[in-house]
Amino acid sequence: MNEGGKGIDIGTVFVKCAHKEGDKIIFGSQRNAFFQVEYAGGFTKKIFDDRMIKYVVKDDKLYVIGNDALQFANLFNKETRRSLSNGVISPTEEEALPIVELLIKSAVSEPHYQGEIVYFSIPAEPLDADFNIIYHIKTIEGFLKTLGYTPKPINEGLAIILSELADKDFTGIGISFGGGMVNVCLSFMSVPIFKFSLTKAGDWIDQQVGMAVGEAASRVTAIKESSFDLTKVGTLSKIESALSIHYNDLIEYVIENIKQELEKVGGMPGIVKPISIVLSGGTSLPEGFSLRFKQILGQFKLPVSVGETRMAAQPLNSVAKGALIAAMAEEGHL
C-alpha cells in the first residue's frame, strides 16, 4: 500500500525520489548527465529503444541521458553535460531546465493524490561562491506544483540528520559529499544551528585529477566510482595518487570550514554530549573514506567534542530518505 508523502534528493549527479510502500522504501533514480550524439533519424532511436538506452530529442539533436551518457562520453574521451552544476540549475547550460524537469518527472512520477506533500533537498548558501539559491528553489517548487504536489524545501545536510541520527534525537552534523557541492548542517534536535555549502566537491576532484594526469574528467569519474580505494597502499597508479591527494585536500577544506563555523557560534555550550558526524553522498563512496576523514579530523582542534563519526547506512539514499521522513511526518502518518 502506498503511503502519502515523498522525498526527493535533487543532486548535481542524481535525482532520487523515495516513497514508502508497506514495509519497504522505494527509491527511483535518474542520473543527471547527458551527452549529444550524432542523430541519424529513426534508426538510431530504434537501436536505443531496443537496448534500453535513454535518450531525448530536441531541435533535431539527440542526447543520451543517464549512466549511458557517461559511457558514450568516455568512448569519445569527452565530458558529459549536466543540467545542474554546483547543486543548482546550471545557468550556463542551455538545455538545463527541460532536462532537469524530465528527470524529476520520471523519478517522482504522479502524486498519489492532489496536493501530496513532497520535500525536496536544497543546498545551503555557499560560503565560497557568489550565487544564491532562490531561483533554483523557486523553479523546482513551481515545477513540482505543476505536477500536483505540495512542495517544501529541506536542507540537504538536515535531511541526512533526519535519516541517520534519530538515535541522537536528530542532534549532530550531517555532511553530504556530493558531485557539485559539499553540504554541511549542524542540528540540535532537528533545528539547524548552522548550515553551509562549499563548491569544492566530487566534480572538483575529477577536474583537478583530470588536469593533473591529462584525462577527461568523465574518465576520472568512472574510475573513481568503479574501483578507487582510499585504503590502498603500495604502488598507486597516477590517477589513484592524484585522487588520494585531492581527497585529502577536500576533506581538510571541509573540516576547516566546519571549525570556523563552530567558532562563530561559540562552540555548542548547551550540548554536553559529544557530537556525532554522519558522512554521506556519492563522493564519500570510495572504500576507506570515513577512516581518512577521521584521520584528518584528528589533526584539527574543533571547539566541540566529537563523538562517533560514521558513514550513512546508504550514502546515496540518505538525503531522499530524510526528506521522506519530513514529508511523512507532515502528512500525519503514524
| Residue entry with cell 557539485 | 180
Residue span binding another protein (CB under 8 A) among the ranges 134-142, 178-186, 228-236, 271-279: 134-142
115 belongs to the binding site for another protein (CB under 8 A): no
CB nearer to another protein: give 266 or 332: 332
Min. distance of Cβ 105 from another protein in angstroms? 6
DSSP 284: G
Q: Is-contact 99 83, C-beta < 8 A?
A: yes
Beta-bridge mates of residue 19: 6, 26
Task: Supply φ then ψ for residue 196, to 5 degrees.
Answer: -155, 165
271 belongs to the binding site for another protein (CB under 8 A): no
CB nearer to another protein: give 88 or 201: 88
28 belongs to the binding site for another protein (CB under 8 A): yes
| Residue entry with cell 502519502 | 4
Dist. CA 174–CA 183, nearest whole Å: 8
Closest alpha carbon to 153 in 138, 132, 171: 138
Residue span binding another protein (CB under 8 A) among the ranges 28-36, 177-185, 266-274, 296-304: 28-36
Min. distance of Cβ 254 from another protein in angstroms? 23
For the CA atoms of 282, 3, 159, 206, the dihedral, rounded to the nearest 10 degrees, stands at 20
162 belongs to the binding site for another protein (CB under 8 A): yes
Buried/exposed 130-161: b ≥16 CB within 10 Å, e otherwise = eeebeebbebbbebbeebebbbbbbbbbbbbb
Residue among 39, 44, 56, 71 that touches another protein (CB under 8 A): 56
Min. distance of Cβ 325 from another protein in angstroms? 5
Size of the site for another protein (CB under 8 A): 66
**What is the SS3 assignment for 102-151?**
HHHHHHHCCCCCCCEEEEEEECCCECCCCCCCHHHHHHHHHHHHHCCEEE
Residue span binding another protein (CB under 8 A) among the ranges 14-22, 73-81, 173-181, 199-207: 14-22
Residue among 145, 238, 264, 273 that touches another protein (CB under 8 A): 145
Min. distance of Cβ 4 from another protein in angstroms? 12
23 belongs to the binding site for another protein (CB under 8 A): yes
Min. distance of Cβ 51 from another protein in angstroms? 10
Angle between helices 318-331 and 156-164 (to 10 degrees): 80
38 belongs to the binding site for another protein (CB under 8 A): no
1 belongs to the binding site for another protein (CB under 8 A): no
Long-range contacts of 128-137 (CB under 8 A, 24+ apart): 128/198, 128/199, 128/200, 129/86, 129/199, 131/86, 131/88, 131/91, 133/87, 133/88, 135/88, 135/89, 136/87, 136/88, 136/89
DSSP 52: T
Residues 64-103, mask of contacts with another protein (x by CB under 8 A): -xx------------------------xx-x-xxxx-xxx
Residue among 141, 225, 249, 261 that touches another protein (CB under 8 A): 141
What residue ranges bind another protein (CB under 8 A)? Answer: 17, 20, 22-30, 45, 48-49, 52, 54-58, 65-66, 91-92, 94, 96-99, 101-103, 105-107, 130-132, 134-135, 137-139, 141-143, 145-146, 162-163, 166, 169-170, 189-191, 314, 317, 321, 324-326, 328-329, 333-334
